[in-house]
A and B are shown apart, each in its own frame.
Chain A
Amino acid sequence: MQPLDSRPATPEHLDATFAALADPTRRAILTRLAEGSATVMELAAPFPLSQPTISKHLKVLERAGLISRGRDAQRRPCILNATRLVVAEHWLSQQRTLWETRINQLESYLNSLKEQPL
């Protein structure tokens, strides 16, 4: 399956990013990769999970465009792709701004009702 490309955020990109983030093992993997690239073996080391299980997680992250696998067939290091993560965080903060704006406007509207109660 081809990884999603890095054009501007579509709902599918956001869905894939959030699905990838919805798992604590994958979040821990991303945290480790933020420090630098690593091989599958290095990533698997901290977890009481089998390497095939870790590989399944890596596939989810790769399909979501959050990591790339290096070309070196021997070692295939995994590299963090920060763009998609930043896009998801940006979307969430955009949503938060939208809802905060709505609630501020609701509050203003409610305050205006004090002049002429319902």
Chain B
Amino acid sequence: MTHGNLQAFDPTRDLLLERQFDAPPEVVWRACTEPDRVKQWIAPAPWVTVECEIDLRPGGMFRFLMKSPDGSEESANLTCYLEVVKEQTLVWTNALAPGYRPVGSIEHVPLITAIFSFEPSGTGTKYVARVVHKDEHDRKQHEEMGFYEGWGTCLDQLVAVTKTM
């Protein structure tokens, strides 16, 4: 895996999901990179994906349009591939339009980068998805880690406390 330059996972802003699939990496890869196959699963039911366009290369377009069951609402998603390593790594972001053109912002939609890895695992695939939210430039380095150990727990506790307020 080519993820040496990834920042440490931040549970307050990032998602990390893993799944073991029975299908081998080449099958999972096709399900994730062929438009007619992507349309089968990417819209959370009962929404459906009515359009999907893929130009599978760094800088290429990954676009999908989802609609509500009665067709009155839709969600248009335009993203740019950053990394494409066949049957291994797939990365795209909505912070850039195809051709790496910065978007600045998207109305009602947070900017994310989605990072997927496909690893052979027995006869199947270990599928790992990371979704990262944008950072600010003035983020500081963690210096006195001893003091801040368990901040994740603090945050959980903090939210639990706020729910009782």
Contact = CB atoms under 8 A, between A and B. Distances in A.
Interface of A: 10-11, 14-15, 18-19, 21-25, 27-28, 30-31, 34, 46, 48, 80, 82, 85-86, 88-89, 91-92, 95-96, 98-103, 105-111, 113-114, 117-118
B155 A106 contact: no
Nearest to B135: A22
Most buried by A among B107, B133, B140: B133
A2 B147 CA distance: 32
Contacts of A111: 22
B15 interface: yes
B131 A99 contact: yes
6 A-B pairs with least C-beta separation? A82-B162, A105-B41, A19-B136, A24-B148, A101-B44, A106-B41
Interface residues of B, number: 50
Interface of B: 10, 12-13, 15, 17, 19, 21-23, 27-28, 30-32, 37, 40-42, 44-45, 105-111, 127, 129, 131, 133-136, 139-140, 142, 144, 147-148, 151, 154-155, 157-159, 161-163, 165
Contacts of A23: 139-140
Contacts of B158: 30-31, 34, 85
Query: For chain B, what secondary structure do more than half of its interface residues adopt (helix, strand, loop), or is it mixed?
Result: mixed
A86 B41 contact: no
B22 A110 contact: yes
13 contacts: A15-B133, A22-B13, A27-B148, A31-B155, A34-B161, A85-B158, A85-B162, A92-B12, A92-B15, A105-B42, A106-B127, A110-B21, A113-B23
A96 B15 contact: yes
A18 B41 contact: no
A36 B31 CA distance: 51
Contacts of B27: 110, 113, 117-118
A65 B146 CA distance: 28
B31 A109 contact: yes
Contacts of B129: 99, 103
A102 B42 contact: yes
Contacts of A34: 157-158, 161-162
